[in-house]
Amino acid sequence: MRRLDELVAPVVLVVAAALLGSLASISNQTYFTDTLVKVSIVVALYVFIGNSGVLSFGHISFVALGAWTAGVLTVPPSEKPAIMPNLAEFLLHRHVGNVTSLALAAVVGGIAAFVVGIPLMRLSGLAAGIATFAVLEITYNLLQYEERIGPGLNAFSSVPETTGLRQAAIGAVVCIVVAFVYARSRFGRLLRATREDDAAARAVGASVYRQRLIAFTVSGLLAGLAGGLYVHLLPVNVNSVHLDLTFLTLAMLVVGGSGSLLGAVVGTLAVSAIDSWLAVAENGTSVFGLNLDLPAGTAEIVVGVMMAAVLILRPSGLTGGRELRLRGRIAWRGSASRAPA
Amino acid sequence: MTLAILNIDWQTLADGLALGAIYALMAVGIGLVFGVLRLVNFAYGQLVMAGAFALALASQWGWPVWAGIVLCFAVVLALSVAMEHLVFRPLRGHSPAVMLVATFAVAFLLQSIALLWFGSLGKIATSLASLNRPWTLSGVDIRKITIVAVIVAALCLLLLHLLLERTEVGLHMRAASMDFSTSRMLGVRANRVISFAVLISGALAAVVAVMLTVQTPLVTPDFALRDTIVVLAGVVVGGLNRPIPATLGGFTIGFATGVLGGALPTNQSQYLPTFVFVAVILVLLVRPRGLFDFSRSVERV
């Protein structure tokens, strides 16, 4: 816990984004809130991918499960039959408040990650990548058709929209603090040791399997929380928590640098800034007196090019996988240029 | 008897066979590039998608069928070469995960371009529709494309086998996929072998594009995306390191998907992806190097 100063930069960035958002017009504020929710998702990704160096395409499943949990439990009971006609009996009359729903979303995400992780954490490399992809596809398929636990193909309308700037910022800071505490803990250190040198870490007694499982569970917990925040922001449907979000959040993590917490935050803010600006420009805007009206879909193309370019030119991301320290003078430290392997 | 119990008729079986054949070709295309570059090309489906759009455009312009197919090959091959030069080459030597994420980015990039260009509703490729009509064989309706797909796939695989086993460049490719640096020291020219593998892989993508557009003439930007995910799973399940296990893996998952999709009642077949991917996870846990890989090589990834 001595390196508390490494926590400063990510938190300051999040608070600054929230303050900037509070100055923006109401219609533009959504972009800032959305960005802050994505910070939570990407920080959740970082906890596992960044510390273990193992790729996961499956984390959006836990976001989806968190969204489903918080959504089902907060739709007003009078409206449940209209949105979710086939809902199971025991969910029909349950109703919880905002904070409880977020906590439960986190718990469900964590439990799901733990259960999925028990078999999956034995795998590494490409097998792990494909297996986590399989988890994403299974979750997508089940949520799509299992109408006893949610709205199926419909969107989660009527969920109280409690995720404003403040809630999104608090959620992001909570995720960052948890990720920081985890990374500085004995478990985080052991896991990063296995990332840097598997054989050496095993030789000093680190269990790769156990450390990965712990990280997977913690990151599932945060992803579930982020899903809860997300469903309270906008009417989520099953397609909004599938491949596109997986791609966007992975792009954010990779662009920022998957090796550090700061990278996760910087990447999210950078990609979101460009993405949101282009989304505004697609509806027509003026830059330096020039009228700009980009065709719809430009944002995806630019993000795709950005991600490919960063991977090719600077595979360890914008921050190079380093944290920012503020002890006396500003100095960079952290894992050397190490891409996710 | 067993067939009747499982509610599988010959038609379903034939459809499964055709899907298996197409997936086997995609598996070979992915496996060939992986062999020489150690790179899993997630964007392979978007090559197929581009070829399918070429066919759709050609039929919209009223081009004859052969011209459409030529255009399809030209587009897919050009795109493969561009991908190799702009993405694969700079990424050479990075870890497999970085390369997988990079091709993931390329896949989304190409899909967004298609979305911008053609819209989400897509276009219809009609020129080869006659192949989609059934052909009655002793009371069983079999679509002509089913037979064409199986024959074309068998032919492609045979040609590829001959190429790999009987020609010099094939020998170089096999050597490169066994041990790239050693084969370079022995005089295999890296760029040539890689370009060749990428070209063949692209040609296979074009063949797949033609056959898939016959089966589903509506071409949308996410055309072949789901197929690629399933094939990738199949390839990894089969064993990426060698061409034959990879092909078998692709065929198996295509055949299983096709047969189960036809045989299961609707309230179960909607959960087909779940069954398939649970099976994928189980196989990966039991045999992480691949179901059909019986070699005793060390883990590469």
Instruction: Report which DSSP code applies to A251.
Output: H
Distance (Å, whole) CA A63 – CA A110: 10
Share of chain A above pLDDT 90, in %: 48
**Which of B87, B111, B288 comes nearest A127 by C-beta?**
B288
pLDDT band at A262 (very low <50, low <70, confident <90, very high): very high
The reported pLDDT for the residue numbered A215 is 96
What is the pLDDT of chain B when averaged over all its residues?
85
Give me the number of domains chain A comprises: 1
A86, A137, A253, A306, best to mutate vs chain B, most B CBs in 10 Å: A137
Per-residue model confidence as pLDDT tens digits over B259-285:
888 888 777 888 888 988 999 999 888
A:1-40 residues touching chain B, CB 8 A cutoff: none
**What whole-number distance in Å separates Cα of residue B104 and Cα of residue A251?**
9
The encoded tokens of residue A1 equal: 């816990």
- CA dihedral sign, ordered B281, B282, B283, B285: positive
pLDDT digits (tens, 9 = 90+) for A267-312: 999 999 988 888 887 776 666 666 666 777 788 888 888 888 888 8
Averaged pLDDT, A41-66: 94
Q: Which residues contact B274 (CB under 8 A, 6 or more apart)?
A: A137, A138, A141, A142
Average pLDDT over residues A184-208: 90
CB-neighbour burial class of residue B116 (10 A; exposed 0-12, middle 13-18, buried 19+) = middle
Residue A260 counted as domain residue: no
Chain A interface mutation, best of B109, B118, B270, highest count of A Cβ atoms under 10 Å: B109
- Residue A275: predicted pLDDT: 86
Question: Would you state the pLDDT for residue A226?
Answer: 97
Tell me which of B115, B277, B293, B297 to substitute to probe the interface with A (most A C-beta atoms closer than 10 Å). Answer: B277
The answer on pLDDT for A109 being more than 80 is: yes
The pTM score is: 0.88
User: Are B95 and A341 within 8 A, CB to CB?
Assistant: yes
Show residues of chain B in contact with A315, CB under 8 Å. Answer: 94, 98
CA distance readout (Å), A16 to A9, A89, A317, B139, B247: 10, 44, 22, 72, 53
Task: Report, as an integer, the average pLDDT of A53-80.
Answer: 92
Residue A59 pLDDT: 94
pLDDT above 50 (res A331): no
pLDDT-based confidence at residue A173 (cuts at 50, 70, 90): very high
Position B199 scores a pLDDT of 94
What is residue A335's predicted lDDT score, i.e. its pLDDT? 46
A119-139 confidence digits (pLDDT tens) = 999 888 778 888 999 999 999
What's the rounded mean pLDDT across residues A30-59?
93
Contact A298 B116 (CB under 8 A): yes
In this predicted structure, the answer to whether residue B96 has a pLDDT above a threshold of 80 is: no
- By the CB < 8 Å criterion, does A258 face chain B? no
User: Would you say residue B94 has pLDDT above 70?
Assistant: yes
Is residue A42, in this structure, part of any structural domain at all? yes
For position B37, what pLDDT does the model report?
82
Tell which wins on pLDDT, A313 or B68: B68
A294 in B contact zone (CB under 8 Å): no
Q: Which of residues 85-144 of A touch B (CB under 8 A)?
A: 119-120, 122-127, 129-131, 133-135, 137-138, 140-142, 144
Q: What is the mean pLDDT of residues B42-59?
A: 93
From B164's Cα to the closest Cα of chain A, the distance in A is 25
**Mean pLDDT computed over every residue of chain A:** 87
**B232 and A CB contact within 8 Å:** yes
pLDDT at B173: 85
For the stretch B190-246, pLDDT in tens is 888 889 999 999 999 999 999 999 888 889 988 888 899 899 989 888 887 777 888
Bridge partners (DSSP) of residue B218 are: B124
Chain B residues with CB-CB distance to A148 below 8 A: none
Q: Is residue A97 part of a domain?
A: yes
User: Shortest Cα distance from B94 to chain A (angstroms)?
Assistant: 9
Q: Give pLDDT, residue B203.
A: 95
> Residue A51 is part of which domain span?
5-240+329-334
pLDDT, position A166: 92
More confident residue, A198 or A295: A198
Tokens representing A80 are: 């449940």
- Hey, how many other C-beta atoms are within 10 angstroms of the C-beta on B78? 12
Q: Is the dihedral of CA A242, A243, A248, A251 positive or negative?
A: positive
The pLDDT of residue A20: 92
The percent of chain B in helix, strand and coil, each rounded to the nearest 5, is 75, 5, 20
Specify the range with the lowest mean pLDDT, choosing from A34-43, A120-129, A292-301, B165-174: A292-301
- CB atoms A315 and B232 under 8 Å: no
Tell me whether residue A321 is in a domain: no
What is the C-alpha separation between B119 and B54, in angstroms, rounded?
15
On whether residue A117 sits in a domain, the answer given is yes
Question: Is residue A265 situated within a structural domain?
Answer: no
% chain B with pLDDT above 70 = 93
Q: Which of A45, A116, A130 to mutate to test the interface with B (most CBs of B within 10 A)?
A: A130
Contact A141 B273 (CB under 8 A): yes
Give the count of Cβ contacts less than 8 A between chain A and B.
134
Greater confidence (A88 vs A249) lies with A249
- Average of pLDDT values for B165-177? 86
Q: In chain B, which residues have their Cβ closer than 8 Å to the Cβ of A123?
A: 284-285, 288
Check if B286 contacts A (Cβ < 8 Å): no
For B277, the closest chain A residue by CA position comes to A134
Nearest to A119 among B229, B280, B281 (CB): B281
How far off is chain B from A305, nearest CA to CA, in Å?
7
Residue A146 in any domain: the answer is yes
B101 contact A CB<8A: yes
Is the residue at A95 inside a domain? yes
Please tell me the predicted confidence (pLDDT) of residue B97: 67
> Is residue A329 pLDDT above 70, yes or no?
no
